[in-house]
Structure 1
């Protein structure tokens, strides 16, 4: 999985900062100059998921990411009601904290896709300015989302017990099924993923965090309408192998989103930014290059750009 590319977790943690959101300590990262690019991570991991892309992105943009409330090294209050709406509030509070007032670009994954969808809805309500949005694999449409067994159990009456019994080995057993056959994490990477979940006793709140699945269903129409009508340039970069939100989610995206712009990554699973970061970067930068073209139209970039014309990690 791209050895030698990325930032070791220890170094990543050392580069972080802290700000307070509604009485809770939130860890965040910000670097680079230019247009603001907000990275929004997934469940159950944290913003370190972006570490392969961080260095090349900060050469071009002001890149911002945080461990959302309940994730990574941020606060994980035990009795809190965790909500995607509050996580969207958190992203806006972070932008305010950093003094960013111009429209921001979004790059989101999994749980973060839902937060990005809410921000798109708020863009339509003139509560935030969104310049563009790129989704990686996530439950954009609840009817097409296929949760894994561990998620179903966390949602059940056994959820509290499941969280308490969740171990590194259980993470491996469930996580490994989400990756492509040739892009699975190393043991060291599993150690790092587990460290972020285990930080601040994160296992004890997994049954609370998983409530994002029913919350998605409640907000589905609001979010889909925002994606269909707001006119924000969007793209889906999709690991097609993913059993949770792979090729079937991309197909649904194409059905529902006018002028759907989709880049499929064959053989890649639920975590394209860790499994195939160079491909993700190439497709992302190609999307951004299209936005700079005054004649830009929402087309399927993967269908019109030959692979060799996409920027590389080293560019």
Structure 2
């Protein structure tokens, strides 16, 4: 699937006067909301959407600053505000109860939502939480050099301006276990969406999420320790960034969880092993 086809599947919803790109597919009474990763978009789920939407009404939006959503220069890009946007969007779509699935960057947005849920600050029933390969325990994450440079206040803007498709392609391929599982064309579609709306101008601001993971560590990890929401931890075992140790720690900390590994798989498990990932998402305990 190309970016144009994907864009045609979705719509734009105005949230806090910003245009948010949303995929809303399926007619089930069960709703699955998905929070995607960095630096990609909802397009990460193009291989699995059809099957997911047979069981769920599936709602995936591009976070502000990502994909086809607005990419304003005058914005904080705080994960706290990304949670505000997600919750407001879901409220506007009339959602009352959901299964919440998050990957990578999206896991931090999800943990902020779980923190608010635990403190009864939001009116949303979360029936199940599904966490996939995210550096929630940032102290154990193996950040790529480009991530370190982008999040740095001194080098970030300069590095962002120099970033191009060959650099992006190399960095993305390196986090796949089986490099043949991603084509140049697929990577071009991801890059096109990253560049959309002059996205390179904000990528260094987006990368500040890594600093927030340290700053809000106690709030977010603390929320996972307190929540009683049934949780599936579905983890690619060969992720060079969100390493297995993070999944094991989460499994030790979350009260009501099931840890399931996907072997011989890198960071983007829904793209590299879509059939296995789908099986684990859709099967009942």
What TM-score do you get using the length of structure 1 for normalisation? Answer: 0.86
Distance 1:272 1:27 in 2: 23
C-alpha distance in 2 between matches for 1:260 and 1:217: 24
Q: Distance in 2 between matches of 1:98 and 1:260?
A: 29
Whether the 8 Å contact between 2:140 and 2:243 is mirrored in structure 1 is no
The Cα offsets for residues 120-164 of structure 1, whole Å up to 9 and x where unpaired, read as: 111112213211110111111121222110000012211101111
Decide which of 61, 65, 79 is 2:74's aligned counterpart: 79
- 1:228-266: CA deviations, max 9, x gaps? 221001111111111100322222223333354211112
1:93 and 2:55 aligned? no
Residue 241 of structure 1 pairs with residue 235 of structure 2: no
Distance 1:182 1:264 in 2: 19
Match of 1:123 in 2: 117
Is 1:175 the counterpart of 2:169? The answer is no
Q: Which has the higher contact order (CA 8 A, sep 6+)?
A: 2
**Partners of 2:57 and 2:251 in 1: CA distance:** 30
Indicate if the aligned counterparts of 1:176 and 1:184 stay in contact, CA closer than 8 A. no
Distance 1:69 1:182 in 2: 29
TM-aligned CA deviation for residue 182 of structure 1: 4.8
Check if 1:223 corresponds to 2:194: no
Select the structure of larger CA radius of gyration.
Answer: 1
Alignment of 1:1-315 (within 5 A): 7-33=1-27, 34-100=29-95, 102-126=96-120, 127=122, 128-156=124-152, 157-258=154-255, 260-286=257-283, 289-290=284-285
C-alpha RMSD of matched pairs (Å):
1.4
- Which sections of structure 1, spanning at least 5 residues, go unmatched? 1-6, 291-315
Partner-residue secondary structure (3-state), 2:202: helix
**Separation in 2, partners of 1:259, 1:60:** 23
Shift of 1:93: 1.2
Instruction: Tell me if the contact between 1:144 and 1:252 (Cα under 8 Å) persists in the aligned partners.
Output: no
Structure 1 SS opposite 2:174: helix
SS at match of 1:37: strand
- Could you give the per-residue CA deviations for residues 265-292 of structure 1, whole angstroms, max 9, x where no partner exists? 1210000000001111111112xx22xx
Matched residues in 1 for 2:161 and 2:4: separation? 26
Q: After TM superposition, what 4+ stretches of structure 1 lie above 4 angstroms from structure 2?
A: none
In the comparison of the two structures, how many residue pairs are matched? 281
